[in-house]
C-alpha cells in the first residue's frame, strides 16, 4: 500500500523567522498513513531538521548536483544534503528545467547521485501550455519520465510529481480528468518499465495551485497519492488543511 505524501516546496522563500511554520506543522500532524515533508531553501535545511527532530515531519532539499564533490561553485551535493539532515530531494522541477536549462539527462544524473547518497528523490514532470495545446502532453510526460528516472527507481526511493507548468503559481488547477489521465498514464509507463509490483509502490503526486479549497477534490482522483505544494505550503494555516484533506483521503 502506498503511503500518502504531502510535500511542500518553499522555492526561494523563507528565512529563520519562518521556521515557526515548520514547528507548528510538526506539532499538529502525526498521522502514520500520511507523510509530511517540507523542502525549504538550502540555507534552512539544517535548522529545519533540528526543528522537526522527534516529530514525524520530514525535511528535504530542492535540488542537488550530480557529482559527489568538486569544483562546482555555488552547488551542493546529495551527501551534503544528507549531512544537513534532509532525507528527500526535489529534482527536475520545471523552474529548474527553465531557469537552469536542466534536461532530463541532467535530472537523471542528479537522481542517480541522490539515490547513491541514500536520498529519496521527487522527480518532477509536466507539460507547458503550448505542449498541451498541440496535443503533445503524454508524449512530453512520457519522454521526461523515461529520460529522468534511473533504473534503480523503486517505491521506497522514488516519488514522481506531475506538475503541469501552466498550473504552477497560476491559480489554474488542472481539471480532475486531466490529472487522472496523466497519473494513469504514468502508472502504466512505470509498470511497463519496472513491472506492476514496483509501479504499484511508486507514489505519484500532483502539483500546481493546490490549495485548501481544492485539495479534497484532487485527493479523490485515482492514482493521486498526494501533492507537491508551493505557495500554500509557506504558512501552516494554509498547508495544514491540505494535509488534513490528505489524511482524510487516507482514512
From 35, 95, 163, 247, active-site residue? 163
Distance, in Å, from the CA atom of 187 to the CA atom of 145, rounded to the nearest integer, reads 11
Beta-bridge partner residues of 174: none
Task: Note whether 169 binds ligand 13P by CB under 6 A.
Answer: yes
Distance, in Å, from the CA atom of 217 to the CA atom of 206, rounded to the nearest integer, reads 12
Note whether 202 and 153 are within 8 A (CB): yes
- 3-class SS at 85? coil
Beta-bridge partner residues of 5: 35, 226
The set of cell numbers assigned to 43 is 540555507
204 or 229: CB nearest ligand 13P: 229
Q: Is 181 a catalytic residue?
A: no
Closest CA to 183 of 151, 216, 212, 160: 160
The set of cell numbers assigned to 172 is 489554474
The contact pattern for ligand 13P, residues 172-211, with x = CB under 6 A and - = no contact, is -----------------------------------xxxx-
φ and ψ at residue 216, rounded to 5 degrees: -60, -40
Distance, in Å, from the CA atom of 215 to the CA atom of 148, rounded to the nearest integer, reads 27
148 or 209: CB nearest ligand 13P: 209
Instruction: Give the burial class of 251: count Cβ atoms within 10 A of its Cβ; 0-12 exposed, 13-18 middle, 19 or more buried.
Output: exposed
Instruction: Say if residue 126 carries a ligand binding annotation.
Output: no
Chosen residue from 113, 123, 168, 242 binding ligand 13P by CB under 6 A: 168
Instruction: Say if residue 11 carries a ligand binding annotation.
Output: yes
Q: Is 183 a catalytic residue?
A: no
- 3-class SS at 173? coil
Chosen residue from 102, 230, 236, 247 binding ligand 13P by CB under 6 A: 230
The contact pattern for ligand 13P, residues 80-119, with x = CB under 6 A and - = no contact, is -------------x--------------------------
Chosen residue from 229, 243, 245, 250 binding ligand 13P by CB under 6 A: 229
- Which part of the chain contacts ligand 13P (CB under 6 A), choosing from 14-22, 133-141, 161-169, 196-204? 161-169
Q: Give residue number: closest CB to ligand 13P.
A: 230
**Residues of the shown chain interacting with ligand 13P in the complex, contacts defined by CB under 6 A:** 9, 93, 163, 168-169, 207-210, 228-232
Residues marked as catalytic: 93, 163
Binding residues for substrate, as ranges, are 9-11, 169, 209, 230-231
Amino acid at each position: 500500500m502506498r503511503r500518502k505524501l504531502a510535500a511542500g516546496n518553499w522555492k526561494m522563500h523563507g528565512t529563520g523567522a519562518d521556521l515557526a511554520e515548520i514547528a507548528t506543522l510538526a506539532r499538529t500532524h502525526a498521522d502514520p498513513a500520511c507523510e509530511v515533508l517540507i523542502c525549504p531553501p538550502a540555507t534552512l535545511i539544517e535548522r529545519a531538521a533540528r526543528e522537526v527532530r522527534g516529530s514525524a515531519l520530514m525535511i528535504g532539499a530542492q535540488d542537488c548536483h550530480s557529482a559527489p564533490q568538486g569544483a562546482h561553485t555555488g552547488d551542493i551535493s546529495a551527501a551534503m544534503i544528507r549531512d544537513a539532515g534532509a532525507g528527500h530531494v526535489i529534482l527536475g522541477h520545471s523552474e529548474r528545467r527553465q531557469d537552469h536549462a536542466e534536461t532530463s539527462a541532467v535530472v537523471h544524473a542528479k537522481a542517480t547521485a541522490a539515490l547513491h547518497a541514500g536520498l529519496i528523490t521527487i522527480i518532477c514532470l509536466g507539460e507547458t501550455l503550448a505542449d498541451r495545446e498541440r496535443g503533445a502532453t503524454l508524449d512530453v510526460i512520457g519522454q521526461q519520465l523515461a529520460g529522468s528516472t534511473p533504473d534503480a527507481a523503486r517505491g521506497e526511493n522514488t516519488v514522481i510529481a506531475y506538475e503541469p507548468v501552466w498550473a504552477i503559481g497560476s491559480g489554474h488547477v488542472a481539471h480532475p480528468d486531466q490529472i487522472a489521465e496523466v497519473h494513469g498514464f504514468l502508472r502504466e509507463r512505470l509498470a511497463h518499465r519496472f513491472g506492476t509490483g514496483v509501479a504499484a509502490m511508486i507514489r505519484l503526486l500532483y502539483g500546481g495551485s493546490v490549495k485548501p479549497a481544492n485539495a479534497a477534490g484532487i485527493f479523490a482522483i485515482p492514482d493521486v497519492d498526494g501533492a507537491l505544494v508551493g505557495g500554500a505550503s509557506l504558512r501552516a494555516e494554509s498547508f495544514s488543511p491540505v494535509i488534513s484533506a490528505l489524511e482524510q483521503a487516507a482514512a
